[in-house]
Amino acid sequence: MGTIALIILAYLIGSLSFAVLVSRAFGLPDPRSYGSGNPGATNVMRSGKKAAAVLTLLGDGAKGWCAVFLAQQLAPGWGAGDLGIAASALAVFIGHIYPVFFGFKGGKGVATAAGILLALHVWLGLAVVATWLLTFALSRYSSLSALLASLLAPLYANFFLSKIYVGTVIVLSALLIWRHRANIQKLLQGKESGFKKAQE
């Protein structure tokens, strides 16, 4: 029962869509109604309100971290153990991509996944974030950065986590890549939109 309770709690935390909530607070259009239609920081950036995009990024990352941290603190007393923590990590991510509060139409989960990985092991999270940042600095494609970070995350996890959590990271990475399937097609076709480098 403890594991089930942790899963439900994590899922509900994940279902808080900061892209929608922050956009409402700033009086911006619903991010699901413009651009890529994805309720995430990258699409909120297209509204022209950088502060809203940053708050969305931080909020989505924080909920991933908080859900796993709470599970880590509660699992021993609730008799859940590592299985409950691993399941909570997946549940908060699934809550983000299929949020019960927003018609099960969520984001792709990049920031939330980063928060999850930072909670599982700070060096794992930092390695993945560094991979994203380096790829983005070179390519200016957010989607490509997320895909490469997702592919390398399980490899990094082998150095920091036990098998059950490595399995969790593999599932997270697979879900992230699947959520970016449309972006993969655009990248292959040369039609993906990136961010232009600032003019010197």
Residue 44 sits at φ, ψ, to 5 deg, of -60, -30
Please state the pTM of the whole predicted model: 0.93
The pLDDT tens digits of the residues spanning 95-130 come to 999 999 999 999 999 999 999 999 999 999 999 999
Mean pLDDT across the chain: 93
pLDDT at 23 over 90: yes
Q: What percent of the chain has pLDDT over 90?
A: 82
- pLDDT at position 197: 52
**Is there a contact between 19 and 107 (Cβ–Cβ < 8 Å)?**
yes
Confidence of residue 196 (pLDDT cuts 50, 70, 90): low
Long-range Cβ contacts of 45-52 (<8 Å, 24+ apart): 47/23, 51/26, 52/22, 52/23, 52/26, 52/28
For residue 115, give the nearest of 85, 140, 92, 146 by alpha carbon. 92
